[in-house]
Each structure stands twice: as structure tokens, then as C-alpha cells.
Amino acid sequence: MSAAILPTTETAEAAPAVDLNDKAHYIHRELSQLQFNNRVLEQALDERTPLLERLKFLLIFSSNMDEFFEIRVAGLKSQLAFGHEIVGPDGMPPRQALNEISEIAHRQIARQYAILNERLLPDLDRHGIRIVRRENWSPAQKRWVQRYFRQEVAPMMTPIGLDPTHPFPLLVNKSLNFIVELEGVDAFGRDSGLAILPAPRVLPRIMRLPEEVCEGGENYVLLSSIIHAHAEELFPGMEVLGCYQFRLTRNADLTIDPEEMDDLARALRGELFSRRFGDAVRLEVADNCPKKLTDYLLKQFGLTEVELYEVNGPVNLTRLFGIINRSQSPQLQYPPFVPAIPKALKKAEDLFQVISKQDVLLLHPFESFAPVVDLLRQAAKDPDVLTIEQTLYRTGANSEIVDALVEAARAGKEVITVVELRARFDEESNLSLAQRLQQAGAVVIYGVVDVKTHAKMMLIQRREGQKLQRYAHLGTGNYHSGNARLYTDYSLLTSDVALCEDVHKLFSQLTGMGKLLKMKKLLHAPFTLKKSLLDLIARETAHAEAGKPAHMIIKINALTDAKMIRALYKASIAGVKVDLLVRGMCCLRPGIAGVSQNVRVRSIVGRFLEHSRVYWFANDGDERMYLASADMMERNLDRRVETGFPIEDRKLRQRIRKELDLYVADTTTTWELNTDGNYSRLHPLDGQATHDVQRQLLEKYCGAGAPAAP
């Protein structure tokens, strides 16, 4: 795709007006999400990736699809059920979207199981890692399985015969269940012929067989296989004609009516229980299940064949993470690495002293998240620190960050935390950490009703002589040490007076009440971030219209906001070179003649989840750069508390710009979005050097842990 700068002025003025609202210029967001899931699945086939990591990508795909059905498909179905259909700028109504989703998802899921059965499991077997099927159990293994079933499984099982006094049970979202076909009459004279076996949720779904019953290697057996093999023992005197696993996916989105809520935490606890029993959206069954039984299940759940997924393997593949977590084959995984510590911090005993003299930038996971935690720990112990304020979105109740905040609160410091209870699928953990902080004496605020607090910021106020000095951390990621080893994110540690004052004002807005406070440097949603980004794009557009070179590079996780897309189209029409690095959903359609031929959209999928958000504008030589917690999505820009913070230090700005250039030049892990909405994987041209940005950054910062390119 050409990225040449278009002629402007007279040529642009003479061109016919372009309708930027034309639905053909937009990609449906859910279909774009499925494209991202497919890019993840493709990693399972990439033989340059270690084998267990390929399995991990397959399982991440499975987890992504679960959430896609629980939230996105469930949302579309709810629109139809309540007669409140929302049509986006792409013009596709919900019913059509659901039909297209079903067609694509069926293909993807069938392909997932084909990759597992035909590629990954045979490859794992060759390396001595195997899931032993029932038909391949040795006599010794059969005896071990039978003993395990009788001692551990059977006492936990509750068979449910289906008859007028035993109606179909209410099954938990994504739980493993079996439908059993029976023949015979039981002790009470019942002969309904059907029963449901819910698998106990307390039991592991995959077990490693003891070495004494195996002939070398790592051998695993699935709980579903164990139950299948011994189902007849649960129905004494009856003949089991068939036993088939199935799993139901339900709507897992939480709905809390702010007008009927006086306590968010209490309301959320009630909703967490109901999430387990939301409306049915998908049924997965073993592909050998007779049609009469699948029809029976579909009827019970109010689903149609379009929502039926017949699978050749375990109905919940994410349980296979147990193999990766227990494996003793490090050669089949990514080599370990030690995140770097910046030179300025390596021997620093007093982090406040370092940050008071210079801003410190960290790029996780290549650079350690430890300085962020250490700063908080130092603040907790420092008698001169008076207050600590922090937002918590995805953290974990037992994290080092929470430990330090608890220590600070117990030491008598003023600790104020803004805990976002509604971080999807982390609600329960956040309720726990909120309770823990409150018990330690911290002030816990739940943010603003109807506006999630997604900003990542920490502010420390310290008495230094006669003045009060502030120190801030601002980030693009979460305060989660585990994620900081898996996600790419930027952290900025600063004592910039104006920026810290802005952070203080934003905390004041979140914890108290009052009119909007004017910021000097910080951009914040839902107030100034969107307008400021639109202004920066418009300024770049004006430079192009004036015949000046114009360029922007934007690295984000998703691009769905129609206003942003229209602004980018206008920039492209004017001649701005637009490089978009969008990991996930992208509703902008590049390569449209006269509209977006100057836009190039790429997605990088590799070892680490690309999560950093960077906005860079050439600005006629006076470049502007912001890091942000927000993507270009309506929810981020209009309905969340988000931050965008400037990188003003020239050296730091140049460093990030060079890192962006590495991303733009990547030829190994990059997928390019085509005009038709599909993605093509980039490959180096003949004679062209291979560029793998994540490997290059590992080599640059860590020096080790980066496997050589094949």
C-alpha cells in the first residue's frame, strides 16, 4: 500500500467532496475483534515459536472467544431481545452481525481443534508430553484412574436424573457438564432415560499421571475422560448408552442501575452471583453427541443450531494451561529474561532524590516494574511522606502494590485509593482489595458512578524542608506486577511541578465534588482528552494542507471511535502520512482511494501483549508526544476517567520515537489490515533484513532471553 504524500491545495480542492459517514468506510467492531482473535490463533501455527508457547496462544484464543461470547455476542443478543438495536457507523444491524459472527466463529473454532489435534498434540507427543486418551490407557493407568475416580471424583458427583420431579438443573456459566443417556428402571421405578452430570468445580480438570504408571515423559489425563470411563458407577443397575460432555456460555456482563443503587460495593456483590446464571448465548458439545440430545439441550437453553458448536476435544480448552504451568520442559517455552533497571536507578538508595532531578521512563516488560513498587515501598517507610493517592484498576488483592499501601496506611500516612470495582472479570478481586485497604485505615473511593476510573496514576506528597514536594507515577498499563512481565507498557516517574499539580487536581475531582478544574499539562477523559487529540490531528491536517510534510504515529489497542476515524480520514485526504499500530479492533478501513490511501494499519502479535498507548505528531518540526491510558474508543474517551500525559524531555521523546520506528519496521510479528477488513501477515522481501521488534527490545534492554531469528 502506498504511503506517499498526496498533493494538496489545488488538487485537493478540485476533488469531489467525500462522504466520511459512508458506511462502506467502516468495519464492524465485533467482526474486527474476531480478526484479532484469528491473529492470536495463527500464532499456534508459527513454528518459530516454542511449542508450549504455541499451545498457550491456542488457549488464549479459546479464552478470548469465551469473553467474546459472554460480552459482545451477549450484548448483540440483548439488543434484539429488548428491541433496542444499535447500528454503528458501519451500518450493520445486530441480527446480520450475529449471523456473520456465527459463520466466522464456527470456522475459527473448528480450525482451533484441528490445529490442536493434528499439529500440537502430535508435536507434544514427540517431545514426551501427552494427554493419554481412554483407549490408550495401560492396565496400570486404568487401575490408577479407577482408584482416583472412586476416592476423589465419585464422592463429589451429584447425578441429576431428569423427570417431572427433577427438572433440568440451572447450570453455572462455562461449567463442565455431561448429558447421559440411560436404559433401565431405577429403584423408584423411574425410566426417563436421561441424566445430567455436573463436574465438580472443586476438582482439577487435568491431572498428571504418576511416573510409576507411565513409561517416561509427562503424561496427563483429563477429568472428562475419567468421568466418561466410570459414569456407569454413578448409575448402579442402569446401562449407560452414552455420556457426552457439554458446556454452556452465558451472558456475563454486569448491569447495575445507578438510579436504584445506594452502595456500589453491595450492588456489585449481588450482580457477581447473577453473572454465573445469565442468559444462554452458546452451547458447546462433543461432536459425537447424537442429534436428538443436542436438540434437547438447545431446547432447554432456548438456543438454535446457529448457536451450537460441536467440538472434537475438551469443551473447555483453557484448562490445558495446566500442562504449560506444570511442564518440566523449559526448552519448549520462551527463554527467561531479567528485566533491566535504568542506569539512573541501579545504585539509587533514594528514589525521590533521583526523580527530583530527572524524569524516569520505563518500558515494561523489558525494563522492570520494580522501581514503581520500590517507590511506593520507600514512601510507606519514609517519615517525610505525608500522603499517597493511587488509582487501582486491575491489581490483585495480594499484590506488592497493595502490600505497600497497607503498610503506609498502618504507618499513619494518609492513603487515598480510587478502586474501580467494575474492572470486568476483576470485580471480586477488587472488592477484596478494597476491604483489605479499608481495614488497614486507607480511604477507599469507588470513583464516579457510570464513569469507570481507568487512569493509571499515583501521587506522593512529601515534606522536604519548608516545602511540600510531589512525585507522580503515570502509566499506560495496570498496577499489576504479573501483567508487567507480559504486557508492553510505559511508566513515567516524575516530579514535574505542573504535571504533579494536574494529577493532584484529578484526584480531587475523583474523591470530592466540584466544577471542572483546569489542567496545565495533563489531558483527561471524559473532558479534555478527546478534544485535544482531535485538535492535534487537525493541526497535522492543516500542516499538510499548507504543503508541509505531515506525519503521525499512533500506537493503541483499539480504534473504534467514529469521530476519531473521520478526523484520521480528513488527515489522510489532506496528505498526512498516518501510521497506526492497532493491536486489536480497528474500525477504520485503510487504502480507500481518495479517503485513506495515506493510512497504514498494522497489528503486532508476539510474545508480549502490546498494550502501550503512544500518540506522536510531527507538528512541523515541533513534535508532540503523549502517552495515555486510553485507546481511541468511545468508552475510553467519553465514559471513562483516562489520562494522557506529555513527554516533554527531548531525550525521552527521541527514545520513544526510535522505539516506534522499530514497531513500524517490524516484519516478523506484524499483520497489515487490508481494505477488505482482512489482515495479511508481513514477511521480509527477498534480501530484506528480518525485524522482530519485541526480540530487538529484549536484546537492547535485557541482553539475553531473546532467541535468535530462524
Known binding positions for ATP: 64, 487, 583, 611
Q: Which residues contact 568 (CB under 8 A, 6 or more apart)?
A: 537, 578, 580, 588, 596, 599
Q: Give the residue ranges of the annotated binding site for Mg(2+).
A: 394, 424
Q: Please give the full DSSP string across 583-620, using - where no structure is assigned.
A: SS-B-B-TT-TTTTTTEEEEEE-SSSEE--EEEEE-GG
CB 218 within 8 A of CB 148: no
Alpha-carbon distance of 700 to 260, in angstroms, equals: 54
Q: Which residues fall in the annotated binding site?
A: 64, 394, 424, 487, 583, 611
| Closest to 105 in 3D by CA, of 249, 212, 5 | 249
Angle (CA) 669 673 675, round 5° = 160
- The total number of residues shown for the chain amounts to 710
Rounded Cα distance between 625 and 244, Å, is: 56
The 3-state DSSP class for residue 209 equals coil
- Tell me whether residue 454 is one of the annotated catalytic residues: yes
Residue 129, all three cell numbers: 508430553
3-state secondary structure at position 218: strand
Residues in Cβ contact with 536 at an 8 Å cutoff, skipping those fewer than 6 apart? 552, 615, 617, 619, 624
Secondary structure (DSSP) of 493-546 = EE--HHHHHHHHHHHHHHHS--SPPPPSS-EEETTTHHHHHHHHHHHHHHHHHT
Contacts of 37 (CB under 8 A, 6+ apart): 61, 64, 65, 68, 108
| Other CB atoms within 10 Å distance of the CB of residue 50 | 18
- Check residue 174 and give left, alpha or beta (phi > 0: left; psi -120 to 50: alpha): left
Between vectors from CA 334 to CA 327 and to CA 311, what angle results, nearest 5°?
A: 60
Give all strands (DSSP E) within 320-466, no chain letters: 360-364, 385-392, 414-419, 443-445, 452-453, 456-464
Bridge partners, residue 475, by sequence: 456, 491
Residue 448 to residues 68, 88, 182, 451, 457, Cα–Cα distance (Å): 26, 27, 55, 5, 16
Euclidean distance between CA atoms 219 and 221, whole angstroms: 7
Peptide bond into 339 cis (omega under 30): no
The number of helix segments (H) and strand segments (E) in the chain equals 22, 27
Q: Given 28, 230, 364, 454, which residue is catalytic?
A: 454
Q: For residue 595, how many other CB atoms are within 10 A of its CB?
A: 23
The backbone torsions φ and ψ at residue 435, rounded to the nearest 5 degrees and listed phi first, read: -65, -40
Q: What CA–CA distances, in Å, run from 709 to 49, 51, 523, 691?
A: 10, 16, 40, 9
* H or E segment to which residue 642 belongs: strand 640-646
Catalytic site residues?
Answer: 454
